[in-house]
């Protein structure tokens, strides 16, 4: 990819993201009252994060059998710690360690 | 006289900046793994300041998606910031003119918004500048470190770090999902649609960016119909 093309992507990305934040702050002075719109906006981040995570996370350490098994180990650790309400950084670090350790063990087998 | 000074903003921003440093580190690694130039990764973080949107964005860049797909994906994924900006504008004091609103709105992220909106009374621009500064520095420098590390670290370590961002998403979604049926149903629907779009061959023409848009809208609308959010709940969640 050329630098120009990359810059174009970044400009569109940053421009839209900024407008989404800026326009409501500058223009809107009234609160959204529709319970339906408020509910959709409330749920949307969870839907987005879930769709980004599943199924991509299962091949995050590689698409071959070893990669998938190592990824699964990371997911299991992340889920267990997340349910226990560990901090975001703890969950992420523990998942990485699990993927690394299981990946290493698999290469030895 | 308000106690919300620039200095207090800086201090309140420190924990956010530390959290951002580690999240953006894995974003930087992801960029390096995909073959992006370090400067490109840094520029994305400096100009976007958002995790989910950037992750989807580089996915579209690596897949050579269209610019309209990029614009639509960013719009849908970052739509929640519009709600936060509306909410924050209600808390803005009289010294917020249009220019200051334009500057401060750049820093509307889940965490900065949460801290700002949890302050008692109205907020002023100086406090917001202080609150934004370190998170922006942390987010951008973490990306730089990750992108550099992705180039020099051994492949197996880079591969293991690839799960970090996803693990963090799991940690954001799961706790509320165990307590709120609507969030759980929303996540399950989204996961199901996401898998169908990824694995059923007839949907293979749908790219990753559009798949996320479809999942987000369908799952959020169904959850909103089945489990409308009461006012107190949405207020509480905004302060997470």
Query: Which residue has 């107190």 as its token pair?
Result: B232
Instruction: Assign A43 a pLDDT band (cuts: 50, 70, 90).
Output: confident
CB contact under 8 A, B215 and A48: yes
Is A83 part of any domain?
Answer: yes
CB contact under 8 A, A50 and B191: yes
The range of the structural domain enclosing residue A66 comes to 31-108
* B6, two tokens: 């620039």
pLDDT at residue number A66: 94
Asked if residue B145 lies in contact with residue B25, where contact means CB atoms within 8 angstroms, the answer is yes
Is A15 part of any domain?
Answer: no
pLDDT at residue number B102: 96
Which residue in chain A has the smallest CA separation from B221? A40
pLDDT, tens digit, 9 for 90 and up, residues A17-30: 999 999 999 987 66
Which residue in chain A has the smallest CA separation from B19? A89
Residues in chain A: 109
3-state secondary structure of B123: strand
Is A60 part of any domain?
Answer: yes
Greater confidence (A8 vs B86) lies with A8
Average pLDDT, consecutive stretches of 10 residues, N- to C-terminus, chain B (240 residues): 86 82 87 92 97 92 94 89 83 91 94 82 94 96 92 81 83 92 97 95 79 88 95 49
Number of domains in chain A: 1
Domain locations in chain B as residue ranges: 6-160, 180-235
Is A13 part of any domain?
Answer: no
Between CA B22 and CA A85 the distance in angstroms is: 18
CB contact under 8 A, B174 and A79: yes
Asked if residue A80 lies in contact with residue A98, where contact means CB atoms within 8 angstroms, the answer is no
pLDDT at residue number B22: 74
Contacts of A81 in chain B (CB under 8 A): 171
pLDDT at residue number A104: 94
Cα distances (Å, whole numbers) of residue B133 to A74, B98, B192? 33, 20, 39
Measured in angstroms, the CA of B201 and the nearest CA of chain A are apart by: 15
pLDDT at residue number B238: 44
Handedness of CA B71, B42, B106, B224 (dihedral sign): positive
Between CA B107 and CA B214 the distance in angstroms is: 27
Note the Cα B2 to chain centre separation in Å. 30
Is A24 part of any domain?
Answer: no
pLDDT, tens digit, 9 for 90 and up, residues A60-95: 888 899 999 999 999 999 999 999 998 877 888 899
pLDDT at residue number B205: 81
Burial of A3 (0-12, 13-18, 19+ CB in 10 A): exposed
CB contact under 8 A, A43 and B105: no
Between CA B15 and CA B127 the distance in angstroms is: 16
Share of chain A above pLDDT 70, in %: 96
**ipTM topping 0.95:** no
Asked if residue B228 lies in contact with residue B181, where contact means CB atoms within 8 angstroms, the answer is no
**Shortest CA distance to B91 belongs to which of A38, A23, A28?**
A28
Which residue in chain B has the smallest CA separation from A37? B224
Instruction: Assign A109 a pLDDT band (cuts: 50, 70, 90).
Output: confident
Which residue in chain A has the smallest CA separation from B54? A13
Between CA B45 and CA B64 the distance in angstroms is: 19
**Interface residue B87 vs chain A (CB under 8 A):** yes
Where are any strands of DSSP class E within B108-193? Answer: none
* B61, two tokens: 């860049």
Is A67 part of any domain?
Answer: yes
Is A7 part of any domain?
Answer: no
**A interface mutation test: which of B85, B160, B198, B229 has the most A CBs within 10 A?**
B160
* Three-point CA angle A99, A101, A107, nearest 5°: 100
**Residue in B163, B175, B229 nearest the CB of A71:** B163
Asked if residue B38 lies in contact with residue B173, where contact means CB atoms within 8 angstroms, the answer is no
């Amino acid at each position: 990819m050329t630098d120009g093309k990359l810059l174009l992507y970044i400009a569109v990305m940053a421009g839209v993201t900024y407008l989404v934040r800026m326009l409501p702050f500058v223009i809107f002075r009234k609160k959204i009252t529709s319970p339906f719109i408020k509910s959709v906006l409330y749920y949307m981040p969870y839907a987005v994060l879930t769709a980004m995570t599943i199924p991509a996370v299962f091949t995050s350490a590689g698409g071959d059998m070893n990669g998938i098994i190592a990824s699964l180990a990371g997911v299991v650790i992340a889920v267990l710690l997340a349910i226990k309400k560990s901090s975001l950084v703890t969950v992420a670090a523990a998942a990485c360690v699990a993927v690394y350790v299981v990946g290493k063990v698999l290469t030895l087998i | 006289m308000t106690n919300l000074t620039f200095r207090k903003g800086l201090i309140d921003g420190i924990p956010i900046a530390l959290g951002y440093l580690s999240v953006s580190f894995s974003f930087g690694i992801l960029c390096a793994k995909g073959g992006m130039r370090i400067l490109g990764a840094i520029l994305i973080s400096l100009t976007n300041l958002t995790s989910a949107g950037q992750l989807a964005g580089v996915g579209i860049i690596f897949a050579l998606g269209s610019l309209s797909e990029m614009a639509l994906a960013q719009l849908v994924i970052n739509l929640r910031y519009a709600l936060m900006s509306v909410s924050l504008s209600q808390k803005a004091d009289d010294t917020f003119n249009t220019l200051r609103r334009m500057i401060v709105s750049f820093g509307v992220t889940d965490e900065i918004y949460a801290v700002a909106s949890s302050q008692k009374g109205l907020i002023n621009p100086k406090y917001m500048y202080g609150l934004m500064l370190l998170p922006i520095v942390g987010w951008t420098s973490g990306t730089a470190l990750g992108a550099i590390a992705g180039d020099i670290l051994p492949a197996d370590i880079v591969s293991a770090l690839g799960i970090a961002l996803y693990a963090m998403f799991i940690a954001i979604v799961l706790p509320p999902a165990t307590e709120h049926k609507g969030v759980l149903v929303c996540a399950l629907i989204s996961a199901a649609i996401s898998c169908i779009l990824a694995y059923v061959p007839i949907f293979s023409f749908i790219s990753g960016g559009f798949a996320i848009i479809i999942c987000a809208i369908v799952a959020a609308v169904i959850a909103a119909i089945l489990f409308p959010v009461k006012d107190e709940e949405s207020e509480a969640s905004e302060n997470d």
